[in-house]
Structure 1
């Protein structure tokens, strides 16, 4: 007797289901049966499809009744991805994708609103709308990223590999002259694609600006420009070229060249690209990567309007939570229907290339305040996210747990090869060593620790690709590696926004260091996550008031260093002091807890207010006149951190809301 299925919700149907399951039971799988022969999966076959992808990731496709189909991403979760990865023979899932990241499928959409707990032995045990019942399109096809580890004893008979096609995974620009000596990033050159047998050129017949736009986006550049084709044709006549592609047809909105229509040469093609030459592309770098002074001047001469899109919460350039400016207020974007086209519009608008990933589910941390946009549908040709069709949103429609984010393609600059850390306990910490040129070969050296601080450490960690700076250290005797002892850089002063230490002000070839011993050289401790504090400024304005308070009532405030420096010269305990008092509310929007630098074991008990605190000052308040003159100052210290409660329903400690009154 086959399994009983109840399709209509009724008390009798429920009773029938319970009776049948209690009487018949379900057969236990034989211990000798491999994972590919689970009872629930009989008659189904699974495969990973789409491009670009690795062997353990892709669009999930299921064959049922002889017909291949896909799964809609509505209500899809990591738990469902775990079940599907096990169906495919992998141990578990490490992630999942939405909005047809690996390209839209064809045929039926077999499953919609798939809901799994993650422990099911088969996808048939998960709840859904039923086989073939869906209101989705293939633009909503779900994909999975599985851990690259196979289940023991798994047979690949249940994994149907997609028919093999040549695809392009990597693209680069090769300068026609001076290869290896040109400054990075390379913005113009011959297009080369990596195929299984090596790097090959692309025939320029029917090559279009749309193709160039896609190539530049992959390489981290927002746009392309025209090239001197005649020069390159003349140069090509003197060189031998190996062509692998004879046809590329892009619309211009693709995030990857593999999504374009490609025509490959066959192995037995003896005549390749007759009458043509290698395709050439010239890209325009964004403001952060303008390589020459001419490009910088050209970009600076263009009128710069107010930025209406920004990225927050990302540890690296070109990634973060998408925030947009509306009516003078920054807000986030809901991830409904968020896809690579919309993400690419954001990336190019900010001066990067096309999007590498469109992130959902507040992967870059939750924002606060308004959610301005939802269901953004870009074609990929828009110059700004605001020009894409979208829906305005109300608080009931979306939450900050659905904030959209992006990871953009960036140009390769090679700056990470000119810096390294030594002596640390992990790759995220150590003494900073930099590579410099000069007379003779390149050599490694140390940085003088004088005036080295957080801003300089921020740039060093960014150049290393290690995210944020936790600490910038002026003494590193405990990281003594012993091999490198020469100080080659001093007087480093950064604003914190530079991409490498070379861009910061420094003494150049003249080294001036007050303490020349190796122990006083610069070090850093980097972190992939960090806190991000945001003051609720409106609350300060609403609660601020002036109070004249006798000095004899301010001994506690003075003991805890809560008064401005000018209070030290007051005539204690006589007289008064005028205070600006207000309540403050500080939100942590980052992806790490905000903690004082001093550990709790070193905190001091203060009888005045009856609590421990470390007196780490983390906020400064200055009162300025309209012309910018400072007339008063104040600060906030970390005694409020440990005794603050999270907002109702907020489980993530990194989103804690710290509020108290400022004396």
Structure 2
């Protein structure tokens, strides 16, 4: 039964059905950050009516999906008509909510709509508009942003951990360890796009932070800002979003998988917490998210569930196993939207 559920999940990924918090998905778009909005209620997926649907509502959806900000709130089933239940109508978000369910609405199943009014979103995948250059890993480097089809740098005037935390979160790199100034990751070239950036740490994209305006600055490239983020020594591969997939750990500079012998919810919860993805929904076995390649690093993992990282759980040692990649372990986590306090940790 569990294998069938994960097969279904993987098939849905292939047709652009993408999930966040196991309670929302985008269907029918060209990528994971656009599509018809569907929510899960009473174990059934249903659509959202477009009455009153606007960018505030769309921004909440995009943030839940880890897709930055909304560029469009789509109405009249322009991303395809759903079938079955229409769950929400007259949704009225402020734009600050952490989930669509927290927004005002008429109540589940209460509507005067048909599927010709299904709502959708198109989100700006913010990580594609930002990059880190000159670091030793993908989670450190000089901050560069894309504006008007040109990459440019950020000046370090006032650059601090709140600003760096926004960057690290956009880049899926956890919390910031350091806000780097003085072009320590090398001088950029060309445009300097932002100066006097002042984030609270809660913004979904750097552009939402206070700043002087694009291209307005009194800097040179000797003041280019950078970040060092806490890059997790663990990752999830092959899932529909960052909080589900095959578990892989980094050891000795090489990524490797975890064998599913004794793999259970205690182990899965440690992985989900380590990746700041909330609690575990499922502990996946038998390479349900695809077979890895190369090294198998861990076997017979035995977590209590309270550990802060998988490395702290009992196991026989790195590289000691009697497994093959058909036994690769995975997890499905309940995606968690981080508070400002959690981002700072």
TM-score, with structure 2 as normaliser: 0.41
Structure scoring higher RCO (CA < 8 A, sep ≥ 6) equals 2
Structure number with larger C-alpha Rg: 1
TM-score, with structure 1 as normaliser: 0.25
